[in-house]
């Protein structure tokens, strides 16, 4: 169950803070990284940059068909695309709730399905790493976000078990607050006092999340699946 080093690795949300760090880490590990994002701005280490809205439930199939044709079949997928909205519970409507779930959870579901379907048909192993969050462990006042990340954790556990017979591992990383553009959008009153509860006493760095992703994506974690690795300074 060892993934091929030079097979393409797909990183969704590849233009974001964690996505750029993951791209650099996987490129250093020898992968051709395909950075997928709704906007441009991938790390220069990316082999290619693809623009797609992975929150569109019909996008994944077309994306993976295109990737397979242009770059060969990928065996590593990092489901990292995500949106965070500091929205009060009472200000959500069905559409804004669904969009958060579609991007943060639905994209992991559909992209994993599109890659795994191809791997299973070809009898090849693979590795999927989902980016969850401490919010998925403990909940969040940003309710839709917390719910979407809790679902990512349950998805990881379920897919880890069901895809194991096919040699496809599925794991997640659950970061605490990491210093990225997303964290800068968290209202100050929601992070006041947060660091007092973090045993390591600081925010995390994108490179520290990327190192955990690199481990879970690669052969060193060959006996690890359906697991969730907290990268949160000891908070959870
Ligand atoms: P970020 O905002 O810097 O990056 C997120 C990226 O996802 C952006 O480049 C954005 O354009 C992209 N994206 C959003 N919607 C998309 C869509 N529909 N299709 C394709 N791409 C889309 O944020 P980040 O901090 O790098 O977050 C990366 C992941 O880590 C997210 O899943 C986030 O929820 C998770 N996370 C972040 C933190 C944190 O504190 N920064 C903590 C826990 C988990």
Residue 63 is assigned to a structural domain of this protein: yes
Question: Has residue 42 been placed in a domain?
Answer: yes
Asked if residue 27 belongs to a domain, the reply is yes
What sign does the CA torsion over 206, 208, 211, 216 have?
Answer: negative
Total domains in the fold of the chain? 1
How many whole angstroms from 121 Cα to the centroid of ligand 1? 31
Instruction: Residue 208: give the domain boundaries.
Output: 8-231
83: CA distance to ligand 1 center in Å?
Answer: 6
Residue 96 lies in a domain: yes
In a domain, 68, yes or no: yes
* pLDDT on residue 187: 87
Share of the chain above pLDDT 90, in %: 90
Residue range 33-50: average pLDDT? 98
CATH no. for residue 161?
3.40.50.720
CA torsion 116→120→123→126, rounded to 10°? 20
How far apart are alpha carbons 115 and 121 in whole angstroms? 10
For residues 164-181, give the mean pLDDT: 97
Predicted local distance difference test score (pLDDT) of residue 193: 87
236 within domain boundaries:
no
Active-site residue, from 145, 194, 215, 223: 145
Catalytic (active site) residue 145: yes
Mutation test residue for ligand 1: of 78, 79, 81, 137, the one with most atoms within 8 Å of CB: 81
Average pLDDT rounded to a whole number, residues 42-54: 98
By percentage, how much of the chain surpasses pLDDT 70? 98
Q: Could you read off the pLDDT of 126-147 as tens digits, one per residue?
A: 999 999 999 999 999 999 999 9
Residue 38 within any structural domain of the chain = yes
Span 73-86, pLDDT tens digits: 999 999 999 999 88
In a domain, 219, yes or no: yes
């Amino acid at each position: 169950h060892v993934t091929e080093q030079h097979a393409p690795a797909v990183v969704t949300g590849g233009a974001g803070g964690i996505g750029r760090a993951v791209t650099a880490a996987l490129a250093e590990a020898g992968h051709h990284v395909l950075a997928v994002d709704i906007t441009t701005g991938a790390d220069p280490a990316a082999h290619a940059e693809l623009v797609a809205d992975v929150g569109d439930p019909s996008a994944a199939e077309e994306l993976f068909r295109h990737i397979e044709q242009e770059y060969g079949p990928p065996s590593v997928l990092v489901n990292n695309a995500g949106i965070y909205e500091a929205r009060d519970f009472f200000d959500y409507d069905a559409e804004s709730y669904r969009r958060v779930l579609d991007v943060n959870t639905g994209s992991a579901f559909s992209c994993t399905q599109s890659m795994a379907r191809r791997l299973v048909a070809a009898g090849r192993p693979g590795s999927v790493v989902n980016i969850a969050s401490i919010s998925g462990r403990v909940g969040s006042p940003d309710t839709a976000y917390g719910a979407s990340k809790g679902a990512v954790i349950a998805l990881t556990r379920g897919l880890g078990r069901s895809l194991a017979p096919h040699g496809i591992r599925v794991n997640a990383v659950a970061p605490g607050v990491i210093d990225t553009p997303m964290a800068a959008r968290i209202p100050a009153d929601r992070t006041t006092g947060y660091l007092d509860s973090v045993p390591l006493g600081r925010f995390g760095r994108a490179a520290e999340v990327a190192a955990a992703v690199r481990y879970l994506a690669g052969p060193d974690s060959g006996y690890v699946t359906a697991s969730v690795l907290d990268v949160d300074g000891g908070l959870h």
